[in-house]
Each structure stands twice: as C-alpha cells, then as structure tokens.
Amino acid sequence: MPDRFEILHKDLAGRIGRLSTPHGTIETPELMPVVNPHLQLIPAGELAEMGANMIITNSYIIHQDPALRNEALEKGLHDLLGFQGPIMTDSGAFQLSVYGDIEVQPLQILDFQFRINSDIAVPLDIPTPPDVSRERAESELLVTEGRLEEATDQNRPNLLAGPIQGSTYPDLRERAARHLKDLNFDVFPIGGVVPLMESYRFETLVDVVVSAKKGLGSGAPVHLFGAGHPMLFALAAAMGCDLFDSAAYALYARQGRYLTVHGTRKLEEMNYLPCSCPVCLKHSPQELMKSPDKTKLLARHNLHVSLQEIRLVRQSIRDGTLWNLLECRCRSHPRMLDGLIRLKCESRWLEGLDTSSKSTLFYLSPESAARPEVMRYSRRVDRISLQGNVLITDETNTDSTDFDHVLYFKPPFGAYPAELSETYPFNAEVPLEPDDDAQVAAVEATRHLMEANPGVHFAIRLKKSRWTELVNAECNMR
C-alpha cells in the first residue's frame, strides 16, 4: 500500500502531517468530533462549517439499528451522516469495555465498516483498562493481536487502524506497537487510555504513549483514542500523537460543563465567558443557563475551543514553539504538570526526534531547563576543544585580550563559545534572574566542559558573584 502519511514539519516528537484517505487528505494534528448517529447534537454538515475536517462515528451503533444499518448500506456512511470529508469508524470496542459483551463478531463488524465506506476502519480489539493484572493484560493483548492479524488479511479499499493495547505496562505497549508496525496498518490508535484521562493520571498517560511511540517508530500516524479535552492536545501532540477524537464537546455540554484550554468550568458558576466564539459573544452565562438550547449551544462552544486549540498546536509546531505552549498548558493543573515532568524524563528520546534549529528559545519555567536543545548541548559540551587561557564571562564587552578563548555564560546552557552567541539556541531569551533548575543545568554543563579540557586555565568573571562561587566550587572539585 502506498504511504498514506507524509510528515511535513517537526517539533519535539510532534509533527505536521498529511494523511490521505478516500474522502480527501487532512492535515494533522487533527481533531475528529464524535458524531452519534442517533442524535447529532450539532448536525454533521455544520461541523464542517465550524472547521471540522474529519469526524468519527460508531459503526456498532449503526449496525445494531436495522433502519440505520440499511440506510448506511444503501447510501453509504457519508450520505447517512451528511458529511463528505473523511470519516473514521469505531468498532464497538468501547461498548465491549463498558458492557463486557457485544452482539457481533470481529470480522462481521470490520466487513460492515468496509461496506459502508468508512475511510478508516478499526478492528474489534479488546480495550484493556489500566492497572489490571499483567496476566490479564497479556492474555487480552494476545486476543487483540490475533484479531488484528486476521483483519489485515481482508481485502479492503480503505485505511485500516491497528489499535495498540497493553494496559499500563510500558513494555507491553512497546512490544504491541513493535509487532503492529510491520503489519499492514495505516493508522495506530493508542487504546484503553480514557480512564487515565478521566482520572487526570497524565504521568501514566505519558508512559503509555511514549512506550507505544518507541515501539512504532516516528513515521507512523498515531491516534490517541478518547483524547478530546483541549488542555491535553499540546502534551499529546508533543509526544507525537496525530489524531484526536472528541466526544467531550457533547458529553461535557450535557453536564453543563464549559471547556477551556486550561480545564473545565461549570457554566452555573461562571460570571463571564472568556471566549469570542459566536455562542460566547451572543450570550451571557445566565442567558445560556436559561436557554432551551443550552446543551446544543454549550456543545458548539466546547467544539470551537477544541478546534481552535488544534489549530494553535499546528501553528506552534510550524513555528518550532510547541515546548512553550506545552509549558503554558501543563501549568494549568498540577496533574498536567505531572505529565510534563514525566515527559522530561524522556528528554533523551525527545532530543533524538526534535529538529535542531528553530525560532528563538524562550525560557519560561524550570521545565525549560529540560528542553531538548539544552539537553543536546549538555551532552555534547565535551566536544568543545580549548587551549591556553580561557575566560568564562557573562559580560559581552569585557576586555579579553589576554585570553585564547572567550566563553559566554548563560543559564541554562552554562559556558559556550562566544562566537555562537547570536545563533540558535544560545540566542535564547532568558529571565534576568535564573531559577535553580537553570543554574544547576548551567553549572553542570560548565563542569563537563572544564573536565573535557584538563590542561586549560579558566578565569571566571561573572556579574553575579553567586554564579562565580558555584562555578568555582565545581571547578575546584574536578
């Protein structure tokens, strides 16, 4: 099968990609609103007007309703829903996870998805929840893998998704992904993670996603199944997730909940609406509360804010500023910060994927000290070869005539060759007063540089005596 996914731009593990389907090519990262075939809270045709380029629906629900089933088989899925862009279909695995049993055979529901012209069909896998016993995770994974292999044997015109399971066992996720990567799949959903997101366990989510990505390699398009909250998109995209689906816009609306990129608010507790979508411009919170169309209107706002965030994520990848957005979003909630801190532990993996040149680096919070650019310099600092007398300074107009080399000192990088000061990443914008993480990173890198050049005499002239003391202390220890 020709390559359906093309990567155009990269930032961290995230990317702008193009995914080709029978009903058109979409740019990723992309959010697919979930459409309930029984009740379209926002009609599918209007979803396109709101900026949705692709949607997802549940083939099992259509299959189990004789009227819908016949109509879908006659007219096809796109005319049934009134949406002419790409449509992905789920298989009933979610119903299986909730009810424990469903009334359809795996190949039967897969064939049905092909027959109604789904653009991306999903085989009926077993979504193993988090924290189950290893035995259960392994045995369910074995069943899923058998069904997936069976699915790839089928003749098909459309794209096929190969879901990655393995519960909260990173090694199982990685193994499952490695196994699927060589089979004939086009898209790789990471499944069974909704309970992690519902309970705000973002550090475990990072473990699961990064493990799956390591197994898959960087070229495969990944769908984070069930990720619909806009506050999560930057984090998920930074890990290399390309597709998201939102049932959240409708589910939260039914509960009177108002989505923002910083978290969820109860509409009844709001005095102002901090958004300029058509719904929020035309209504006060009180008017929305009283409106007979409250749920529909709230769903529209929720979807607006979600699609807007996806576009911002794309622009950030394009600009090379996804880390900045990631830091802002992850500082909205302590559990999101847990996710970012866990992602920092994977900095070596991120560094391997991240492109090396971008727009000016902004140091925004202690998390910036773990940016791939900082880690990369720290790892390579011992390649800098120096002789004779070397000045380390943070003053650009200092007298350096007696020195063989001049190094500028700037946290979080530490000492670096002065001639690189106008180039990326050393032209970074940093706070006047560096935080502890930036200082520790800077002193550490400077110590490595000194250790790599043992015969050299270093003179340290730093405006802040504190830094001089720190660097001298490290220097004397070597």
In angstroms, what is the minimal distance from the CB of 235 to Zn ion?
Answer: 22
Active-site pick, 90, 119, 125, 207: 90
In angstroms, what is the minimal distance from the CB of 276 to Zn ion?
Answer: 7
CA dist 248 and 318 (Å) reads 27
Compare residues 300 and 329 and give the one whose CB is closer to Zn ion: 300
In the residue annotation, 90 being an active-site residue is answered as yes
Stretch that binds Zn ion, among 208-216, 278-286, 325-333, 379-387 (CB under 5 A): 278-286
In angstroms, what is the minimal distance from the CB of 292 to Zn ion?
Answer: 19
Question: Does the footprint of Zn ion cover residue 442 (CB under 5 A)?
Answer: no
Which of 301, 245, 297 has the alpha carbon at shortest distance from 90? Answer: 245
Compare residues 24 and 274 and give the one whose CB is closer to Zn ion: 274
CA dist 406 and 67 (Å) reads 78
Compare residues 282 and 318 and give the one whose CB is closer to Zn ion: 282
Question: Does the footprint of Zn ion cover residue 280 (CB under 5 A)?
Answer: yes
- Please work out, in degrees rounded to the nearest 5, the angle formed at the alpha carbon of residue 267 by the alpha carbons of 262 and 272: 75
Residues near 78 by Cβ (< 8 Å), separated by ≥ 6? 23, 84, 87, 117
* Binding residue (CB under 5 A) for Zn ion from 50, 68, 270, 277: 277
Write each residue from 62 to 91 as x if it is in contact with Zn ion (CB under 5 A), else as -, in one continuous string.
------------------------------
Residues near 310 by Cβ (< 8 Å), separated by ≥ 6? 29, 30, 31, 230, 233, 244
Q: Please give the structure tokens belonging to residue 139.
A: 């045995």
CA dist 54 and 44 (Å) reads 10
Compare residues 95 and 302 and give the one whose CB is closer to Zn ion: 302
CA dist 158 and 422 (Å) reads 50
How many CA within 13 A on the CB side of residue 348? 4
Write each residue from 8 to 47 as x if it is in contact with Zn ion (CB under 5 A), else as -, in one continuous string.
----------------------------------------
Stretch that binds Zn ion, among 131-139, 279-287, 356-364, 400-408 (CB under 5 A): 279-287
Count the residues of the shown chain that bind Zn ion, applying the rule CB under 5 A.
Answer: 4
Stretch that binds Zn ion, among 206-214, 237-245, 293-301, 328-336 (CB under 5 A): 293-301
Compare residues 293 and 469 and give the one whose CB is closer to Zn ion: 293
CA dist 109 and 86 (Å) reads 19
CA dist 366 and 97 (Å) reads 40
Compare residues 281 and 432 and give the one whose CB is closer to Zn ion: 281
Compare residues 229 and 301 and give the one whose CB is closer to Zn ion: 301
Compare residues 295 and 453 and give the one whose CB is closer to Zn ion: 295
In angstroms, what is the minimal distance from the CB of 297 to Zn ion?
Answer: 9
Residue 32, H or E segment: strand 30-35
In angstroms, what is the minimal distance from the CB of 304 to Zn ion?
Answer: 5
DSSP calls for 266-305:
EGGG-SS----SHHHHH--HHHHHH-TTHHHHHHHHHHHH
Site for Zn ion in 185-214 (CB under 5 A): none
In angstroms, what is the minimal distance from the CB of 265 to Zn ion?
Answer: 11
Write each residue from 296 to 335 as x if it is in contact with Zn ion (CB under 5 A), else as -, in one continuous string.
-----x----------------------------------
In angstroms, what is the minimal distance from the CB of 44 to Zn ion?
Answer: 20
Residue 441's alpha-carbon distances to 329, 340, 368, 414, in angstroms, are 23, 18, 11, 7
Write each residue from 247 to 276 as x if it is in contact with Zn ion (CB under 5 A), else as -, in one continuous string.
----------------------------x-
In angstroms, what is the minimal distance from the CB of 262 to Zn ion?
Answer: 14
Q: Which residues of 31-48 are buried (b: 16+ CB within 10 A; e: fewer)?
A: bbbbbebeebbbebeebb
Helix (H, G, I), strand (E, B) or coil at 30: strand
Q: Which residues of 263-273 are buried (b: 16+ CB within 10 A; e: fewer)?
A: bbbebeeeeeb
Which positions touch Zn ion (CB under 5 A)? 275, 277, 280, 301
Q: Which residues are catalytic?
A: 90
